[in-house]
Amino acid sequence: MSSKLDILREYNEDIQLINANEFKNINSSLIPDLWVEVFSEHDREKRIKKILSIWKNM
């Protein structure tokens, strides 16, 4: 996992992983509504389906 973070840090040194509790404290205007909906989903299977749907429609 750290190698993926290293790659992202080439573009932005402030990149970090957060847990679900920390997500609640992030200003929602910084994250697209689509992703707020995904990260707010508690059901794992529904969350996966939403993520795959987003990626499929890109």
Model pTM above 0.85? no
43-57 residue pLDDT tens: 999 999 999 999 898
CA R_g for the chain: 13
DSSP calls for 11-34: T-TT-----HHHHTTS-GGGS-HH
Mutual orientation of helices 44-56 and 33-40 as an angle, nearest 10°? 160
pLDDT in tens, 4-23: 888 888 999 888 888 877 88
pLDDT confidence of 2, banded at 50, 70, 90?
Answer: low
pLDDT over 90 at 1, yes or no: no
In the numeric block, which tokens belong to residue 54? 């987003």
